[in-house]
Amino acid sequence: MRTMVALLMLGLGMSLALVGTTTAEDKKGPPSGDKKKAGPTVTGKVKAINATSITLEGRTREDKQVAPPQTFNLAKNVTVTEGAIAKTLADVKAGATVTLTLSGDRNLVTAIALPAKGKERQ
């Protein structure tokens, strides 16, 4: 009986020791800031675009009021895609429907997605 209790205590002690260990990776904690983490997406029609920002046209709400245009700052390394094909900012034209992916802190556009050819939204 004593041997059984001793083995149980030894097993319990080893289990607790393993649970309590941490690695260097654990000690780093979460990455600072949410900028790298993908945030929400916004879809709309491009009113204007330049190297540092993009403006989407205002939408007509259910109450027939038109929301003001929204301007978003572009990340320096913003990616542009059309379906699965990589594009450049020059390929994004006024009037195009796009989906913007914002940074985790919602301050920057990290990706611009154009619909794939033949899949344009009306």
Q: Is residue 45 part of a domain?
A: yes
Residue 2: the pLDDT is: 58
Q: Is residue 96 part of a domain?
A: yes
Give me the number of domains the chain comprises.
1
Residue 111: the pLDDT is: 97
Residue 66: the pLDDT is: 87
Expressed as residue numbers, the domain containing 82 is 38-114
The domain spanning residue 106 has which CATH number?
2.40.50
Q: Is residue 9 part of a domain?
A: no
pLDDT per position as a tens digit, 29-43: 444 444 457 789 999
Counting as low any pLDDT under 50, the low residues of the chain are 7, 12, 15-35, 122
Q: Is residue 32 part of a domain?
A: no
Compute the distance between CA of residue 31 and CA of residue 49 in angstroms, rounded to an integer.
31
Judge residue 93's burial from the number of C-beta atoms within 10 Å of its C-beta, 0-12 exposed, 13-18 middle, 19 or more buried.
exposed
Q: Is residue 13 part of a domain?
A: no
Q: Is residue 75 part of a domain?
A: yes
